[in-house]
Amino acid sequence: MQQQLLEVNGLKKYFDIKGGVFGRKVGEVKAVDGISFDVQNGETLGIVGESGCGKSTTGKSILRLIEPTEGEVKFEGQDLLSLSPEQMRKMRRDIQIIFQDPYASLNPRHTVEKIIGEPLLVYGMKSAKERKERIKELLEVVGLQPHHASRYSHQFSGGQRQRIGIARALANNPKLIICDEPVSALDVSVQSQILNLMEDLQKKFNLTYIFIAHDLSVVKHISDRIGVMYLGKMVELADKEMLYDDPKHPYTQALLSAIPNPDPDEIKDRIILKGDVPSPSNPPKGCPFNTRCPKAMNVCREITPNFQEVEENHFVACHLYE
């Protein structure tokens, strides 16, 4: 039985919309709207959904890089949202993030040695010799050469930069790494190298990942369980095999039908969703998906469905299963 590492309950993040001469609050964007899930030690939880559904905001809210509006985030039983900034800073040794853009997430004025060495210094490795050794070791772990330490980030390709980002995240032996679309900015051939590297590192260091992406084939490759988000809410959560073989939510069914099939002879029914994603500042009443759902009923337009278990370890927020 795996041990629970992270528990998220009713997490919300609303951004205020200000307007008028005095900049008063005139509304709010419901970026993340009451989602709950847990992550077991050593597993990879994938989170997928269209752009703007709140995936990255969820990841950053867990780390408190963005302060959540409401909810509970428990890491090893400790509520992260009740910690002071100083306590949270110490906790970040165990929870790290790999950012989406390997070009923007590395400081162009710093050498690789300084980029990877800074977290080591912050968390107490005062000896310059020890830091040099650890940086050399980390660069080799992520497939780079020790002499790369003296270079600057602009001297590397996108894939190499993401490897530097991964080395920085690994520096202090974290327990949980939030991967915020770590391969979306890279070429397909480089994507597979980075994904394979992350899987190898997970086995080697017993890492736990929350893997955020919008590419369903990438998520299937690396995840144990997958959560599907739509308009700030979690609409389905299941083991990857269960989700791909028997998707319950109409939105998940539409997403999976859009995955290209390499077999030219196999004809697949494509579910085309009509209309655009509603604005998170003005979400529809009832189920957030009811404006585009091919199976929408009257109840869907009035009452928000509960996120509930419909089969063992298969959770869905849909009136079709109530």
pLDDT digits (tens, 9 = 90+) for 193-246: 999 999 999 999 999 999 999 888 889 989 999 999 999 999 999 999 999 999
pLDDT at residue 144, as a whole number: 94
- Give tens-digit pLDDT for 267-296: 778 888 888 889 888 899 999 999 999 999
Q: Please state, as a whole number, how many other Cβ atoms lie within 10 Å of the Cβ of residue 202.
A: 17
Instruction: Give the mean pLDDT of 82-111.
Output: 93
Structure tokens at 170: 């690994």
Instruction: Give the mean pLDDT of 32-43.
Output: 95
Q: Rounded to whole angstroms, how far apart are CA atoms 299 and 320? A: 10
Amino acid at 253: Q
pLDDT at residue 316, as a whole number: 96
- Give tens-digit pLDDT for 43-64: 999 999 988 899 999 999 999 9
- Give tens-digit pLDDT for 99-112: 988 889 999 999 99
pLDDT above 90 covers a percentage of the chain that reads 76
Of the listed ranges 1-5, 56-60, 89-93, the least confidently predicted one is 1-5
Q: What are phi and psi of 205, to 5 degrees?
A: -110, 10
Residue 161 in this model has a pLDDT that exceeds 80: yes
DSSP secondary structure string for all residues of 45-103:
EEEE-STTSSHHHHHHHHTTSS--SEEEEEETTEEGGGS-HHHHHHHTTTEEEE-S-TT
Host H or E run for residue 15: strand 4-19
Nearest to 123 by CA among 173, 79, 78: 173
The pTM assigned to this predicted structure is 0.92
Distances, alpha carbon 92 to alpha carbons 71, 299, 301, in Å: 19, 43, 41
Q: Rounded to whole angstroms, how far apart are CA atoms 224 and 220? A: 8
pLDDT at residue 290, as a whole number: 93
pLDDT at residue 277, as a whole number: 86
Host H or E run for residue 205: helix 188-205
SS3 139: helix
